[in-house]
Structure 1
Amino acid sequence: MVTSNHEAAHRIIQEHPEVLSAIFELLCLPLPADASFTVVTPDVTEMRPVERRIDTVLRIDPPERESFLLAVESQGKKDLDKPSSWAYYVGFLAAKYKLPVMLLVVSQNRATSRWARGPFGFGPEGCHTLTLHPATAGPDNIPRITNPADASANIGLAAFAATIHAHDETPSDILDALAGAFVTIAPERAIDYSELVEAGLADTKAGEIWRHLMAIARTPDGSTLIGAARLEGREEGREQGVLEERRRVVLLLLSNRGVPVSDEACERVTACTDPDVLARWLERAARVQDGDQLFDEDE
C-alpha cells in the first residue's frame, strides 16, 4: 500500500497515465487522447558520488507527432535551489534520450504552484543562457470536482484532483463526489484509487474525512478495504454489496452536507433495491436542500 503523500500523485500518473490527457487539457496544453505512455527510469545519476532522481519520467508518443519526455516533480514549498535542479534534469534527459523534455511540477500548495511556473533564468542578468518555464498542476489550476457524475466520467482525474486539494478548507464536497463515483466502478479499481487518495491526503482534515467515507478496514497485510459488503469474493454477494454501498453513500453525502433527512426518507433509501434508482438519488444528494427532495422527480 502507498504510504507517502509525496508519492501519491506520481502513482496515479504512473499507474493510470490516461489521466494525463485530462490534466494537459486543464493546463491548455495539447495532447491527443490516444497518445501512448511509457514509464522511463527516473535515475539521472552521473558517474560521481551524487545521486539525482526525478520523481516520475514518462515517454509520451502521440500519433503522428514527435515523441517527448514528461518529467514530473512534486514540490511542497518554495525552494530557491530547486529551479537549478529542474534545469539539470531537463538538460540531462534531453541529452540522454535525444527527445524534447517537458517539466510538470505538482503541488498541493497554491502559492508554491504559482511560484513554480517561473520563468527561471540562468546566466548573467539581462543575458540568460537558459530560461525554464515549468508547467504546474496545483489548487490554482486543477478544479475542485464536486459532482459525482463528473467524478465518474474520469475517476483518475477526480482522484488526482482530490489529492491536489488536500488542504482545501471545505474538502467534503470533493471527497463525497469521489466516494459516490466509486459505486460505479469495479471494487478492485475503487480499492486501488482509495489507497492512492488516502496516501495523498495523509494526516490532513481531508484525510480524516476520507478515511471515514471509505469505512476503512485492514487485511493482515495492511491493505485497505472499502465497505465489507463490497469485498465479498463471491459473485453472488456483489450485487447486494453494491446496493448497500449506494444506500450508505446517499445518506452519508446528505449528512456531510448538513441536509435534513426525515425518518421516512431514511427508511425509503435503506429499503430501495433498485440500483438505477439509487444512482439517481446519489446524483441528487449532491444538490438537494432537503432529504425529501431526493424523490421529487420520481413522483
Structure 2
Amino acid sequence: MVSSPHEAMHRIFAQDPGLFARAMRPYGLDIAEPVSCTPLPTDVTTVEPLERRIDTVLRLTDPDGSDYLLVVEAQSSEDAGKQFSWPYYLGYLYAKHGVPPVLLVVCNKASTAAWAREPIRIGLAKRPTLTLEPLVIGPHNTAIVNSPEQAAQDIAITVLSAILHRDDEACPAILEALSKALHDLESVDEEQARCYTELTAQGLGKGRAGDIWRNLVAHDLSFFTSPLSEEIRDEGRAEGRAKGKAELIIQLLEHRGLQISPDDRARVTGCTDLGTLDTWFTRAITAATTRDVFTDEDRDEGLQS
C-alpha cells in the first residue's frame, strides 16, 4: 500500500545503489558506481533508553575494492535536532563498521535543501574539532527529465526527478515521460517496472502530482498487478457499481411514474456510497413520492459523497 513520500526519497537509493554516484556527477563528484551493495541495519540505538534510526544505510563497494557507507536521510522540513543526531549517526557507524560514512540528505523543497547544506561544526568557533558537510540533493539541483528517451536512459534518476519536482509545473511532463519508459521496461523486467511505479506513487503522495500518476497508472500502465494498480482497479469497480445502482434507482422511480426533481436526480447520480444507494433503492420500491426516498440526513450524506 502506498505510504509517505519520506520513505520513497531514501528507499530509491537502496533500489538502485548506483543512483548515488550518477546523481552526484553533475556536481563535480566523480564517484564510481558500486560493484556490490549490502543494506545494513538502520537502528543506531545504544544502551541508553533513546531510540535512534537512520532512514537508509548501504555498504557500497567501489570497483577498486574499497568500501564506504552511504547514509541517506530524507528531509521534508528543517529539524534543529539533526545538528546533534547526524554527527552521532556517522560517528556510531564509523566506530561500529570501521568504514568511512557518507551522509546524503534528500529534500523535496529547495528551502529545506539550503538548510541541510549548512555545515555542522563541533568545537571552538574559530577552530572546530569536527565539521560535517552533508551532500544534498533537492529540486534545486535535480534535473527535470521530461522526454521518454531521457527517462529510458536512467529510470531511477527520472523517478527521483519526479519526486523532488512534484510541486513544480514541470512534474506532469516528467510523469508522462516516466510512464512511457516504464511501459517499455515492463517487457524486459516487469518486477523492476512494478517497483519503480510503486516508488513513484509513494514519493508523490497525495495531491495533484499523485492524482496525475494514478491516472497514468490506470491507463498507460494498466498491465501492472502491483498494489497501486489493484487499488485503482478496486476503486474503479466500486465506482462502476455505484453508477449502476444509481441508474437503477432512477429507472425504478421513473417506471413507477414518480416525478424526479433535477436536484434529486443529481443527488442520486452523484452519490458514490453503496450503502446509501442501497437504502435509497429499497425505499424507492414502495415510496409514494421521491421525497419519501430521502431523509434530511440522506440529503446531507448524498451531497458529501
Contact 1:191/1:225 (<8 A) preserved: no
Residues 32-77 of structure 1: CA distance to partner in whole angstroms, max 9, x if unpaired? 2353211111111101111100000011110215311110001111
Aligned to 1:189: 192
Aligned to 1:61: 61
1:132 and 2:132 matched: yes
1:178 and 2:183 matched: no
Contact 2:117/2:133 (<8 A) preserved: yes
Aligned to 1:113: 113
Aligned to 1:287: none
Distance in 2, Cα, partners of 1:132 & 1:34: 23
State the identity as a percent. 38
Where does 1:30-179 land on structure 2 (aligned, <5 Å)?
Answer: 30-179=30-179
Write the letter of the residue equivalent to 1:129: T
1:206 and 2:238 matched: no
Distance in 2, Cα, partners of 1:156 & 1:221: 18
Provide closer, same or farther for how the CA distance between residues 37 and 116 of structure 1 changes in structure 2, counting only shifts above 3 A: same
Distance in 2, Cα, partners of 1:127 & 1:61: 34
Which has the greater radius of gyration? 2
Ranges in structure 2 where 5+ consecutive residues have no aligned partner = 234-305
Secondary structure of residue in 2 paired with 1:41:
coil
Secondary structure of residue in 2 paired with 1:184:
helix
Aligned to 1:224: 229
Residues 132-155 of structure 1: CA distance to partner in whole angstroms, max 9, x if unpaired? 100011101111111110100111
Provide closer, same or farther for how the CA distance between residues 106 and 221 of structure 1 changes in structure 2, counting only shifts above 3 A: closer
Where does 1:1-40 land on structure 2 (aligned, <5 Å)?
Answer: 1-40=1-40
Secondary structure of residue in 2 paired with 1:7:
helix
Distance in 1, Cα, partners of 2:225 & 2:21: 37
Residues 71-126 of structure 1: CA distance to partner in whole angstroms, max 9, x if unpaired? 00011112222122111111111111111110000010011112211212112322
Contact 2:57/2:71 (<8 A) preserved: yes
Write the letter of the residue equivalent to 2:229: T
Residues 197-248 of structure 1: CA distance to partner in whole angstroms, max 9, x if unpaired? 01100013211111111117799994425999xxxxxxxxxxxxxxxxxxxx
State which drifts further: 38-47 or 123-132. 123-132
TM-score, normalised to structure 1's length?
Answer: 0.70
Distance in 1, Cα, partners of 2:230 & 2:192: 11
Contact 1:166/1:204 (<8 A) preserved: no
Where does 1:241-260 land on structure 2 (aligned, <5 Å)?
Answer: none
Provide closer, same or farther for how the CA distance between residues 211 and 76 of structure 1 changes in structure 2, counting only shifts above 3 A: same
Secondary structure of residue in 2 paired with 1:214:
helix
Q: How far 1:29 sits from its partner (Å)? A: 2.1
Write the letter of the residue equivalent to 1:24: M
Ranges in structure 1 where 5+ consecutive residues have no aligned partner = 229-299
Secondary structure of residue in 1 paired with 2:114:
helix
State which drifts further: 41-50 or 115-124. 115-124
Provide closer, same or farther for how the CA distance between residues 222 and 64 of structure 1 changes in structure 2, counting only shifts above 3 A: closer
Provide closer, same or farther for how the CA distance between residues 96 and 218 of structure 1 changes in structure 2, counting only shifts above 3 A: same
Provide closer, same or farther for how the CA distance between residues 119 and 103 of structure 1 changes in structure 2, counting only shifts above 3 A: same
Provide closer, same or farther for how the CA distance between residues 73 and 188 of structure 1 changes in structure 2, counting only shifts above 3 A: same
Contact 2:33/2:63 (<8 A) preserved: no
Secondary structure of residue in 2 paired with 1:102:
strand
Q: How far 1:18 sits from its partner (Å)? A: 2.9
